[in-house]
Amino acid sequence: MTVPPPTAFTKSPGWLDWYPNPSRPRFVAPAGAVDAHCHVFGPGAEFPYAPERKYTPCDASKRQLYALRDHLGFARNVVVQATCHGADNRAMVDALIHSDGRARGVATVRRGVTDAQLESLHAAGVRGVRFNFLKRLVDFTPREELLEIAGRIAPLGWHVVVYFEAADLGELWDFFTALPTTVVVDHMGRPDVREPVDGPQFQRFVRLMREHPNVWSKVSCPERLSLSGPPALHGERNAYRDVVPFGRCLVEMFADRVLWGTDWPHPNLKDHMPDDGLLVDFIPHIAPSAEAQRRLLVDNPMRLYWPEET
């Protein structure tokens, strides 16, 4: 029997690779646009996946990410640490330091992180930490541990990115509102888009943003939230319509606290893999005016990730 080398990883069953030949978007992003939510996976032979991971992805390298950035007409990326790398930030940091200053990052750190490690992450371009509350992605971390980490990163000017399901917001509310930093919510707090945008579930999220001006939202991942499903053909440019009212509501109400990202390479999608060109064409449906697009894609992410340039 041949024992595979320790760096050989087998993708989780049913894992879908990222879309190989994305179309060129019709929507032309404003100059300096930032893809504020994307990941790198490995490559596993260079940056092994974490032993505690809940899934094993396909490789998705920095080179492939930056080629996609150029193809989509974007200028910069925010690379968010993916759970398959645990708190080993090397792949993400490697992507940042090979970006010519065009990528910043969001890390995962544990309680024992040293000041020197935080400073080194900062020097590489990290500007936030991510707290993940999805049981299918991570094991439980006690809230006091997360609060301690938030207190450690606040003096660096970093923020906290939170990922949770809409149904859990009530239970997480006090924790989120106690955080001493800007708080960025992934994917609009994952609303159930079968419910109306003015229904209690999404309005609770709107209330969180209205009452807490330090809370921002990524108006991202229509492909993850949509129930109307993928476009029947990958030429159709009118996809994910059931998610539009949710994104549009947040863009209209909180124009200076919204971010957008591709979520490339789209972890854990089981039914279809989106054409990233179509995802870019979703933007004008949620941000119809040139001003809203500029704030969403340039002004807001620059203020959060490259404040020294604004």
Active site residues per annotation: 263
Nearer Cβ to ligand 0GY (34/294): 34
Find the part of the chain contacting ligand 0GY (CB under 6 A) among 80-88, 92-100, 120-128, 149-157: 80-88
DSSP of 224-281:
HH-SS-S-SSTT-S---GGGHHHHHHHHHH-TTSEE----TT-TT--S----HHHHHH
Q: How far apart are CA 161 and CA 215, in angstroms?
A: 10
Nearer Cβ to ligand 0GY (84/298): 84
Site membership for ligand 0GY, residue 137 (CB under 6 A): yes
Find the part of the chain contacting ligand 0GY (CB under 6 A) among 77-85, 115-123, 207-215, 240-248: 77-85
Q: Kindly tell me the sign of the dihedral angle through the C-alpha atoms of 54, 56, 58, 59.
A: positive
Among 29, 36, 82, 302, binds ligand 0GY (CB under 6 A): 82
Find the part of the chain contacting ligand 0GY (CB under 6 A) among 65-73, 78-86, 239-247, 287-295: 78-86
Among 43, 267, 274, 301, binds ligand 0GY (CB under 6 A): 267
Among 9, 18, 74, 83, binds ligand 0GY (CB under 6 A): 83
Provide the minimum distance between the beta carbon of 73 and ligand 0GY in the complex, in angstroms, as a whole number. 22
Dihedral (Cα; 257, 163, 175, 166), 10-degree rounding: 90
Let me know if 268 is exposed, middle or buried by CB neighbors in 10 A (0-12, 13-18, 19+).
Answer: middle
Question: What are phi and psi for residue 35, nearest 5 degrees?
Answer: -85, 100
Q: How far apart are CA 271 and CA 3, in angstroms?
A: 32
Provide the minimum distance between the beta carbon of 256 and ligand 0GY in the complex, in angstroms, as a whole number. 23
Nearer Cβ to ligand 0GY (258/294): 258
Which residue ranges make up the site for ligand 0GY (CB under 6 A)?
39, 82-84, 137, 186, 263, 267-268
